Structure 1
């Protein structure tokens, strides 16, 4: 892949991730669904509070884009959220595959309190029908401050 094509691919993946954050915060569930491969997998154990022991975490590996959107709608639908992605490191594997790590920060506001977290998204991407989509997503947290 030449340098220009590589830069255009990286920009397309940055736009994909920006749409992910925007769709989450605006509760655009159909827009969110379009960003994933049908058979995408999601490891969101890192979305739980850092202080909560892993053995008690109820969120399993989520298989399938529809299942993830239902999960996000249930968890984020009733609250105000602000998600941010920073400093991506995107590696182009082939014309149709890439991987990336994003530093992340989120703020979640509910009637019962506030959660502020920092961590990373670890993702893989696949190009299908001319569009880049998320194939796998794993969220890890470095810090959580929560009154929820």
Structure 2
């Protein structure tokens, strides 16, 4: 009867209170420690996730430390992604500004080229017209 009853392993009240109480202790001790993930043998034997198991002592400290570090890493990753997106937007706006300046600078050049091409073609038609008129 007691072998199949696992309700004693689950208790939200104990988990929430231990996370709140122990996070202050964990913050001071694990500033730059690496996250090590191990196998919880008790969770493997009963086929339940270890986050629902009630653990005490050193195991609870390790779990809280890993949770805190993973939360910090997630926040840092989110912050760095946000900064990279800002930089991408700034670079894209800078490139569009440069493209607009290039178009504005090319306008006088294009008009000058059009004028010289028109003058040259006009001169060619005038010269060919004079040649035809002199021959006839």
With the length of structure 1 as denominator, give the TM-score of the two structures: 0.22
Greater per-residue strand proportion: 1
Could you state the TM-score of these two structures normalised by the residue count of structure 2? 0.24
More helix by share: 2
Max Rg structure? 2
